[in-house]
Amino acid sequence: MIIDSHADFRKLLMHHVTTHWPDAVITEYDPVKTGNLPDEFSGAGNDVVLLGDQQGDRDPLHTLKLFARKTGFPPVVFFSTNELDRSTATRFKAEGFFLRDEIRHKSLIVRLGDIMRARRRTSSTDSLFVGDLSTGINPLIKGYRFIRKLAATEHSSVYLAERESGNEPVILKVLQQLPDLADGIGVFDRFLQEYELIADLHHPNIVKIYDLGVSDDHAHIVMEYLSGGDLKQKIDSGTSEAEAVSYLKQIASGLAKVHSVGVLHRDLKPGNVMLRGDGSLALIDFGLAKRMRLQQEITGSGEIFGTPYYMSPEQGRGNDVDARSDIYSLGVIFYEMLTGRKPYSGTNAMGIIYKHSEAPVPVLPHRLAVYQALLNMLMAKKPEDRLQSAAEVAGWL
């Protein structure tokens, strides 16, 4: 949970966190707009509270002191404009202190990681987690044999496995927490939505979902194994012009199907596009996808999800988004496939987000100029100036 009255500062902290932990569920609280938190606020349901010193008419150190007095209150990291506040914050049991104008990504992430590991070690619910990310202990999912762990975040682990009834390889995505834990509800809801949103979308450019279940108190999704790696690896090794065009058509076709049933991806990037052995592509990881009609209820106002390098201007500003936001991300990917580099770079997330809003659409090299008009229509700054549907991409090509 982030508590501070400055929206830009809250967004900055959110991007620091989500860059390292993409599945993090973050709640923003503005004490000026919404009012000071009630005295009975216990912090329940949060792993850590990030408390800024912009608290309106209330002394932020007094707020920290109130939190410190509460039994079982989650760890608090305090952000101040004044170095002199450090000793007082430490006395009031802040487990981290940062000057808000001098935050370094690595030091912040290291401190938050230490806090959460310590919290996990002292929690009476340790046995409810899926092993330990450092030990390689696998959860017991009946009907599947584990081959190896492929990836892990704070909330989920991804495994290569095979069915016990045969030798078919599959991907298992396993939730890190029980769904009925207070601090796991939001994570489990998003995990479950990932299955519900895409399980019925039968399309060659969308990953196949075989099953969702709960085994030995662990929620899991079983999905198609895509043996060709992700598009990021392909781009890093080099994509030809013909490949870039073919991949663009396939991604756009998958997006068109997703959008046709009222679903947004909202985190479209090369790492979320996988290749099969035959060279075809499939969209994956709809953990950030939301049904359009539920968007405000699910995310709340002002909350940002996604990856800054591929984020549309409106998403970067925390505004409402629709299918045209995914189309912008598609344009960023197309530029990267054609040129081998990202259109915008910066020293921090907010700098990149600013360029998406204010910098001109990048110009392709002369040899690729035939695609400039399409790129302009994909990456237009205003949604109304873009292609209005992913289905239009094939026609422009």
* Helices 105-122/7-20 angle, 10° precision: 70
Would you call 120 exposed, middle or buried from its count of C-beta atoms within 10 A (0-12, 13-18, 19+)? middle
Longest dimension (CA), the chain: 66
Instruction: State how far the Cα of 254 lies from the Cα of 57, in Å rounded to an integer.
Output: 50
Residue 76 half-sphere exposure toward CB, CA atoms < 13 A: 29
| AA letter at 365 | P
Closest Cα partner for 166 from 194, 143, 137?
143
| AA letter at 266 | R
- Coarse DSSP helix, strand, coil percentages of the chain, rounded to the nearest 5 percent: 40, 15, 40
Closest Cα partner for 170 from 212, 205, 130?
212
Q: What sign does the CA torsion over 349, 354, 356, 361 have?
A: negative
Given 30, 230, 267, 285, which residue is catalytic?
A: 267
Contact 243, 337 (CB under 8 A): yes
Is residue 39 flagged as an active site residue? no
Beta bridge partners of 263: 291
Instruction: State how far the Cα of 364 lies from the Cα of 337, in Å rounded to an integer.
Output: 11
Contact 95, 113 (CB under 8 A): no
Q: Is 127 left (phi over 0), alpha (psi -120 to 50) or beta?
A: alpha
Count of Cβ atoms closer than 10 Å to residue 34 Cβ: 12
Residue 175 in tokens: 């939730």
Positions marked active-site: 267
